[in-house]
Amino acid sequence: MSEWVTAFAPASIGNVAVGFDMLGLALTDVGDRVLARKTDGQDVTVAEVRGLDGERHPYLSADPKENTASIAAQALWNDHGHSGGVELRIHKGVPLQSGMGSSAASAVAAAVAVNALLDEPLPVEELLPYALEGEKFASGGLHADNVAPSLLGGLILCPQVLLPDVVRLPVPAGVSAVLLHPDLQVNTAQARRGLAKGYSMQLWLEQQGLLAGFVAACASGDIDLLRKTLRDVIIEPQRSKSVPCFTAVTEAARRSRAFGCSLSGSGPSIFALCAANHAHNIASAMEQACRGQGIGCQSWVSPMTAPGARIET
Ligand code: HSE
């Protein structure tokens, strides 16, 4: 048995409104931890999965074939482990089915922890395909918009057509993200299956234009352009109906001077981008609006430069 190593991987905002499946932003202060150590056994095993309360997780499986962390770890170990096996302890910090990249955070933390056990650890970017193996199991699709920012931090453009390559985008100075998590759950795989399969040329042109404009706004720091472009005309209208506090929370954020807001990933979490000095007021306004709908909630404020996964000592 070797010593345990611990990796932390942050939660993330999937899609960031404009880039369905291809744009993601890391958060601070909320994430999963995975502890890993080498064993004399074979393969990857899961010793425990603990929830937010530190107790055995009531839903997540410790079967290594059914947990995103062990699936990612096994894929990495198959390719780069020399001998023996690996044991994992998974400590969830990200609520399940929250739209905050919970399954991705576990997969990323596991890949980073197991990488540290390798005789020759890989550069961090090369862990992406392994973390994606885990994410694919959970969401039923190949999208890196949670895995990539969780692994690398910041704002990452990761269209499927470029994978495993991804692009770190510059971010405008002084902009923060507020993430509100209502006490509701949305199953991502189900939410993805429910999306319309065909879209009009008009919508496609509109969303492409918004994404291009948003990327340009981030690069140039043009906040007016960022305000105009932080919109999702395709996916949000389909999904927001199933989040009962969506309208109240987004209206509250906009009234409090957010640049824009939308669902995080498949929801139910809702994010806003805003001036850093307004972020805490906006978070309070969003929380108040959510509670006003009779729904409990929690919120986090992050800079757009949140760091990615790391080994903790
Ligand atoms: N891009 C994914 C989706 C993220 O919106 O389905 C899931 O959190």
pLDDT tens per residue across span 68-89: 999 999 999 999 998 899 999 9
Rounded to the nearest whole angstrom, what is the distance from the C-alpha of residue 14 to the centroid of ligand 1?
A: 6
Q: How far apart are CA 142 and CA 163, in angstroms?
A: 10
pLDDT the model gives residue 313: 80
Residue 62 pLDDT > 90: no
Residue 177, pLDDT above cutoff 80: yes
For residue 292, the model assigns a pLDDT of 97
* Ligand 1 atom 7: residue of nearest CA: 265
Listed residue (180, 208, 216, 200) closest to 297, CA to CA: 180
Q: How far is the CA of 274 from the centre of ligand 1 (A)?
A: 22
Q: Does 277 share its domain with 193?
A: yes
- The length of the chain in residues reads 313
Q: Do 179 and 165 share a domain, yes or no?
A: no
Q: Are residues 72 and 149 in the same domain?
A: yes
1 has pLDDT over 80 = no
133 and 275 both lie in a single domain: no
User: Residue 251: what residue type?
Assistant: E
| Residues facing residue 313 across a β-bridge | none
Q: What whole-number distance in Å separates Cα of residue 59 and Cα of residue 74?
A: 21
Query: Looking at per-residue confidence, does 299 or 142 come out higher?
Result: 299
Domain that holds residue 226: 175-303
> Are residues 25 and 96 both part of a single domain?
yes
Would you state the pLDDT for residue 60? 85
Work out the angle between the directed axes of helices 279-292 and 246-255 (0-180°, nearest 10).
150
- 190 and 122 within one domain: no
Mean pLDDT over residues 208-215, rounded?
98
Please give the Cα distance from 216 to 222 (Å, whole number).
Answer: 8
Pairing of strands 260-263, 175-182: unpaired
CA-based nearest residue to 273, from 17, 10, 9:
17
How much is the average pLDDT of 84-112? 96
State yes or no: pLDDT of 2 exceeds 90: no
Please check whether residues 89 and 25 belong to one and the same domain: yes
**Spacing, Cα 189 to ligand 1 middle (Å):** 9
Report the candidate in 54, 164, 41 with the shortest Cα–Cα distance to residue 111: 164
What pLDDT shows up at residue 142?
86
Specify the CATH number for the domain of residue 55: 3.30.230.10
Please indicate, yes or no, whether residues 164 and 189 belong to a single structural domain of this protein. no
Dihedral over alpha carbons 221, 222, 227, 229 (to 10 degrees): -90
Same domain, 9 and 151: yes
Which residue, among 35, 109, 70, 154, has the nearest Cα to 309 in the 3D structure?
109
Half-sphere exposure of 57 (CA within 13 A, CB side): 22
139, 179, 240, best to mutate for ligand 1 pocket (most atoms within 8 Å of CB): 139
Structure tokens at 20: 């369905």
Same-domain check for residues 94 and 218: no
Task: For 64, list phi and psi in degrees, rounded to 5.
Answer: -60, -20
Predicted confidence at residue 241, as pLDDT, reads 94
The answer, as to whether pTM is greater than 0.85, is yes
Shared domain for 63 and 45, answered yes or no, is yes
What is the rounded distance in angstroms from the CA atom of residue 309 to the CA atom of residue 224? 32
Confidence of residue 178 (pLDDT cuts 50, 70, 90): very high
Task: Provide the pLDDT for residue 196.
Answer: 96
User: H-type helices in 153-312, by residue range?
Assistant: 188-193, 201-220, 223-229, 236-239, 246-255, 279-292
Give the pLDDT score at 63.
87
To test the ligand 1 pocket, which listed residue (106, 236, 266) has its Cβ within 8 A of the most ligand atoms?
Answer: 266
**Distance, CA of 81 to CA of 76 (rounded, Å):** 7
Counting Cβ atoms within 10 Å, is residue 104 exposed (0-12), middle (13-18) or buried (19+)? buried
Do 61 and 144 belong to one domain? yes
CA 156 to ligand 1 center in whole angstroms: 14
- The number of distinct structural domains making up the chain is 2
Query: Which CATH number do you get for residue 243?
Result: 3.30.70.890
Enter the tokens of residue 44: 């990857």
* Average pLDDT value for residue range 189-204: 93
